[in-house]
Each structure stands twice: as C-alpha cells, then as structure tokens.
Structure 1
Amino acid sequence: MPRFKLVFFTPRTSTQTILQHLFEKHPQEVGKIGHYEHCAFIIPGTGQFKPGPEANPTIGSRGTLEFVEEDRVEVLVNDKGERAELSAAIKELKAVHPYEEVAYDVYQLEDI
C-alpha cells in the first residue's frame, strides 16, 4: 500500500481543528500507523508572508510583511492506490484550512 507524508503549515490556533477534521473524514487513511490512530508530529515555528495586491489575506494586510506563530504538521496518509485517498485528504485540508493559499508538501515513503 503506498504511503505518503503530508506536511502542512497552519496558525497554531487552527492546528487541532484541522487535524480532527482530517482524522474524522479519513480515519483509515490519515494519521494511522499500525494499531495507532490520530498520529501527527507538530513543530512550532514562525511563518512569514507578504500578501500581494490580488490577495485576500485571512491574517494581515496586502503589501505588508507578516509574521505568524504557526505549526508545521506532519501526518501519514495511507493510500490504496491511484492516490485517491491522498487527493481526498488534500482537498479536505484546503476546505478546512483558514488560509486562502495552503502551504503543504507531500513526500512518498518507501519501506526499507
């Protein structure tokens, strides 16, 4: 079964809301490692961004550099193939995330 690591960045105040949503919508695919569920790794940090003239920022103002206390969140996504579960998890992430543009990375994992 293909496995992926989904990494995303979110304001700290939204981390648990996003994770609970992903875990509820995809209980067999997101955050499950063996007999454990709701697994995630959360790293605090500071994000920076400057909304452009066409942006509709949730935080801050167009043209002003912003610094936000954010979390880097890592979760495992188990996919049965064709990346359908991964795509569905990313779609859910974008639906519940507070930012206009969601910063995320996907890494395919290999068993060794």
Structure 2
Amino acid sequence: MNITTVKVEVLLPEMFIENIRNQLNAIGILTVGNYDHVISYTETKGYWRPLDKAIPYDGEKNEISFGSECKLEFKCEYSKIQETLKTIKEIHPYEEPIINIIPLLDI
C-alpha cells in the first residue's frame, strides 16, 4: 500500500487551535481544493497523571487529573508530515503531545 494522505489528530487546549491552524496554513498544509484553513475540532475530556519526572502543563505530579481539551483534525499529504509535526510541536504546550497519524486510503 502506498500512503499519500494521512489524517492528523492532535489533542490540545482550545486556546492553541487558532495559532496552530494559522501556522499550518502558512506552510500550505491546510489547503483542500479551492479552500484553505480546513480543520475541524471537537471538545473532549480526559484523564492524566504526571509522573515524578514530568513538567506538567496542567495538573500536579503523582495526582490523577481530569479536564477538557480539544481534538484538532485535518488531512495532510504524507510527504509533508515531518514539517507538520515540527510546526505543531513548536506551538503545542504539552510536554508529551498526543498526535495521531492515520493513513487514508486513496479511492
């Protein structure tokens, strides 16, 4: 199977979506046909516990935390995934960002 397009999912606080969207669009990642800035996001909830060596964005070490965040989703050419990841990680506030890359079938 030859992967040419992927779906990228990123969990992050809502206040960072606009900046990431603008930076990804500036490098040509979020263009679909005759449209740009093409993303979607949903609000979600999650749990996490920062361990001893963590530098948490939110929560206290060794305490289970619960909170809301957003899942940002967009299509990306696989050939641009490294540039995409670099851009996201430069802006993302989490020490260990959750970024899922899902191959899409070309049909």
The TM-score with structure 1 as length reference comes to 0.86
Q: Distance in 2 between matches of 1:60 and 1:99?
A: 11
Which residue identity does 2:47 align to in structure 1?
Answer: Q
Pairwise CA distance, 1:48: 1.6
CA RMSD of aligned residues (A): 1.5
- The question of whether the paired residues in 1 share the 8 Å contact of 2:39 and 2:73 is answered with yes
User: CA separation in 1, counterparts of 2:20 and 2:47?
Assistant: 20
Alpha-carbon distance between aligned partners in 2 of 1:90 and 1:68, rounded to the nearest angstrom: 24
Residue type of the alignment partner of 2:89: K
Amino acid at match of 1:78: E
Are 1:46 and 2:45 counterparts?
yes
For 2:57 and 2:87, locate their aligned partners in 1 and report how far apart those are by CA, in whole Å: 18
How far is 1:77 from its partner?
0.8
Corresponding residue SS for 2:53: coil
Q: Which runs of 4+ in 1 moved over 4 A?
A: none
Number of the residue aligned with 2:90: 95
Structure 2, unaligned runs of 5 or more: none
Percent identical pairs in the alignment equals: 24
Q: TM-score normalised to the size of structure 2?
A: 0.89
Aligned residue-pair number: 105
Query: Of the candidates 14, 17, 32, which is equivalent to residue 15 of structure 1?
Result: 17
1:71 & 1:10 partners in 2: Cα distance?
5
